[in-house]
Amino acid sequence: MEKWECEVCGYIYDPAEGDSSAGIKPGTPFEELPDDWVCPDCGVGKEEFTKLD
Amino acid sequence: MDPVLLKEGIYWVGAVDWDMRYFHGPVLGTHRGTTYNSYLIVDEKITLVDTVYTPFAGEMLERIRKIVDPSRIDYIVINHVEVDHSGALPEVMKLAPQAKIFCSAKGKAGLLKHYYGDWDYQVVETGTTLSLGKRSLSFIEAPMLHWPDSMFTYLPEEALLMPNDAFGQHLASAFRFDDQVDNRIIMEEAARYYANILYPLSRLVLKKLEEVKAMNIPIAMIAPSHGVIWRQNPGQIIEAYQRWASGEWFPKAVVVYDTMWGSTAAMARAIVEGIVSEDVDTRLFKISVRDINSIITELLEARLLVVGSPTINRGYLSVLSPFLDDLAGLKPVNRLGAAFGSYGWSKGAVKAIEAKLEAAGLTLAGEGLEILWVPDSGELESCREWGRALARKVKAEL
């Protein structure tokens, strides 16, 4: 599963880890994050993320 | 200075800092000082919106005392955790320990990690409303404009927006409103503020402007946390932000350079002659004697940035590094770049500058220009021609 990076602050969403601060379970792909999920570090929306190669 | 009335029962109780010359540590030159604007709303609930920088706590409290006893403050809104706005919070909380603090979730986390206060926090989100009695507040989260905790506070009954740092200016002045201060100076400082702080967040600025527009809320007055309050023409600064964030430009060039023994300086002057001969306005900055923030501000409306250095140790003069580093962080929107310089044996400065310009998101407008040792008259003419070609590129896009 691909990692995604927040272009505003550099946070990397790793599906293997999920995001416990928002109740996102490990194993959740980025695409399946809820629409209102925001970057846990800086608060911007999913649309500010780009897929890492 | 007495408190200043914005609307019935709403007062400016902030502080004017005539002496502030460097902000954010040493990196942002505030050559006209600044103000820290906090606002007191007297209603059934006495509410303070933002505070001031720590050393000005006493001054703010004196101003509040002229209106009410600070111990009577019921609510404190913290739009932004940065110390120039929250620094006086511990002093206020000593006098009004019962006050509830309204802030974003990130704001609460930030305040806890700044002041370690056991205070009554109420986390708010976009759409949360708070009745003060006759009037009310609503909140709009604005993450990364310019910190994760940032938010705007809106008072619908007066169509008053208190957006904290957004739409601010580092400008100390005797008067508090936009119609009382030279508009050209206000806009210069608003531009300097935008270019040196908000530039890299331009995409978020555009989205937030759209979001606020879509909310369809009237805005009669904008009271930011620095500089003058926009009461005569709040539309002016909203339009400017729209323009700056979308990368609009004028046919203008900025040439930045430094020199060892004068060759790159001679090239710079010839290049400027070339650009100007095509009627493209140009600013020339010798970096070692100029202020980086002013250069960045010029870039806010210029299309083209030209950077020059002789080659030393296979790279550029280190005096250019702070500027090029700043540029990489600020990522100017939609700009062209080009590099030039003299060299003796090995080259390297032009390539290294070009790499920095590209890393900052600029598009290279053409091949770099390099000249061996001291330019002769023919080579100076080629500098002029190089400048003319760059200027024509700028004009071709008009």
pLDDT of residue B16: 98
Give the gap in angstroms from C-alpha B290 to the nearest C-alpha of chain A. Answer: 30
Q: Is B91:B38 a contact under the CB 8 Å cutoff?
A: no
pLDDT digit string, tens, across residues B165-187: 999 999 999 999 999 999 999 99
β-pairing verdict for B10-12 and B39-41: antiparallel
Q: What ipTM was assigned to the predicted interfaces of this complex?
A: 0.93
Q: Per the CB < 8 Å rule, is B143 touching A43?
A: yes
- Chain A interface, mutation test: which of B203, B206, B211, B330, most A Cβ atoms within 10 Å? B203
- For residue B12, name the pLDDT band (cuts at 50, 70, 90): very high
Q: What percent of chain B has a predicted confidence (pLDDT) above 90?
A: 98
**Angle made by CA atoms B23, B25, B31, in degrees to the nearest 5:** 30
Residue with tokens 């550099």: A10
Using alpha carbons, select from B65, B73, B123 the residue that is nearest to residue B94. Answer: B73
Q: Which residue among the candidates B36, B53, B75, B80 is catalytic per the annotation?
A: B80
**Angle made by CA atoms B84, B291, B56, in degrees to the nearest 5:** 20
Chain B neighbors of A41, CB-CB under 8 A: 148
Give the gap in angstroms from C-alpha B144 to the nearest C-alpha of chain A. Answer: 7
Chain A neighbors of B106, CB-CB under 8 A: 43
pLDDT digit string, tens, across residues B314-341: 999 999 999 999 999 999 999 999 999 9
Which structure tokens are listed for B388? 């003319």
- For residue B398, name the pLDDT band (cuts at 50, 70, 90): confident
pLDDT digit string, tens, across residues B258-303: 999 999 999 999 999 999 999 999 999 999 999 999 999 999 999 9
Q: Per the CB < 8 Å rule, is A38 touching B143?
A: yes
Phi/psi for A24 (5° steps) reads -90, 120
Q: Which residue type occupies B204? A: L
* Other residues' Cβ atoms within 10 Å of the Cβ of residue B329: 10
Q: Is B310:B278 a contact under the CB 8 Å cutoff?
A: no
Checking if the pLDDT of B245 tops 90, the result is yes
Q: Per the CB < 8 Å rule, is B204 touching A9?
A: no
Q: Per the CB < 8 Å rule, is A44 touching B141?
A: no
pLDDT of residue A27: 97
pLDDT of residue B397: 86
pLDDT digit string, tens, across residues B194-237: 999 999 999 999 999 999 999 999 999 999 999 999 999 999 99
pLDDT of residue B1: 85
- Chain A interface, mutation test: which of B140, B144, B150, B330, most A Cβ atoms within 10 Å? B144
Q: DSSP string covering B344-379, please? A: SSS--HHHHHHHHHHHTTPEE-S--EEEESS--HHH
Q: Which residue among the candidates B17, B82, B258, B278 is catalytic per the annotation?
A: B82
If you compute the radius of gyration of chain A from its CA atoms, what whole number of angstroms results? 10
Whether B85 is a known active-site residue: answer no
Give the A window 10-49 contacts with B, CB below 8 Å: 38, 41-44, 48
Checking if the pLDDT of B311 tops 90, the result is yes
pLDDT digit string, tens, across residues B102-154: 999 999 999 999 999 999 999 999 999 999 999 999 999 999 999 999 999 99
pLDDT digit string, tens, across residues B40-71: 999 999 999 999 999 999 999 999 999 999 99
